[in-house]
Structure 1
Amino acid sequence: MAIDAEQGGKLVMDLSRVVKLLRAVNVSVPRFHESLEQSAHPLLFAIHDEPARVTNLADRLHTDISVVSRQVRHLETLGLVAKVPDPDDGRASVVTLTSEGSDLVTRVFAGRGQWMADVLADWTPEQAASLDEGLERLAESLRTELDALTSAKEN
């Protein structure tokens, strides 16, 4: 049985509150790199997951290519990423982490992982696993919805 609009509305309000709290926490937590905005972390994580062309990174992050290009240039100046020739097409470049960028991602994962473990210290492992499962399922549902909206817009 599907949820109704009232329950859906409550979920939207709860998610909005969580997103706002996460943004507020992000402003206050220590930085892992003095010259790097935390808004660049998702790009670093995407490159860590799989080095790619700027256009592919923009698609994966659901962000405009110009924004990703700007962020990549900034990360290059900081020595965190490098552009290397695409093995499939030498005319194009793939963005990859440098060793300093890889070290930073490792530190961010560890630091944020410990922070989340501390936030959820009074949760059981089963409760945390249930949250993770729910978030993964929500992300997949949102991806499906975004794909449908994008497809409808193109037609």
Structure 2
Amino acid sequence: MAIDAERGGQLVLDLTRVVKLLRAVNISVPRFDDAVEASAHPLMFALHDGPARVTDLAARVHTDVSVVSRQVSQLETRGLITKVPDPDDGRANLVTLTPAGTELVTRVFDRSGEWMARLLEDWTPDQTDTFSSNLGRLADSLHTELRTLTTAEENR
């Protein structure tokens, strides 16, 4: 059975609060690398899934290509990523993590996991698993909605 608009509205308020709190925490925590903005972490996590073109990376992290290009340049200067020729198209490049980039992603992931474990220390494993499952379902629904919206926009 579907939820009503009142419950939906309360969820929007709760999610807005969570997003704002996550942003505030993100601003306040020490950086893992002084030269790497926290906003570049999703890009690096996406590269951990495998090399990709800049346009594909932008789609993976739901960010504008110009923003991803700027982040790629900064991360390349830091020696955390490199560009390699695309074996399927010699005119294009793939972006990939360097060993230093892979080490940073591992460190960020491990420390973030430790932080989340401390944050949820009074949650049971079952509560955490249920939350994680539901969060994944929400992400899937948002992804479907985004595809629907972008398809509708392209058809105008």
Q: TM-score range by the shorter chain?
A: over 0.9
What residue ranges of structure 1 are gaps of 5+ in the alignment? none
Regions of 4+ moved over 2 Å: none
1:142 positional shift = 0.3
Match of 1:11 in 2: 11
Sequence identity percentage: 68
86-95 or 105-114, larger mean C-alpha shift: 86-95
Match of 2:121 in 1: 121
Query: 2: distance between equivalents of 1:122 and 1:69?
Result: 41
- What is the correspondence of 1:66-81 to structure 2 with a 5 Å cutoff? 66-81=66-81
Task: Give the SS at the match of 2:79.
Answer: coil
- What is the correspondence of 1:63-142 to structure 2 with a 5 Å cutoff? 63-142=63-142
Task: Give the SS at the match of 1:82.
Answer: strand
Query: 2: distance between equivalents of 1:4 and 1:106?
Result: 41
Match of 1:20 in 2: 20
RMSD: 0.6
1:41 positional shift = 0.4
- The letter for the 1-side match of 2:55 is T
Query: 2: distance between equivalents of 1:41 and 1:105?
Result: 8
TM-score, normalised via structure 2 length: 0.98
Match of 1:62 in 2: 62
Task: Give the SS at the match of 1:144.
Answer: helix
Query: 2: distance between equivalents of 1:27 and 1:153?
Result: 33
1:27 positional shift = 1.0
Task: Give the SS at the match of 2:94.
Answer: strand
Query: 2: distance between equivalents of 1:105 and 1:148?
Result: 32
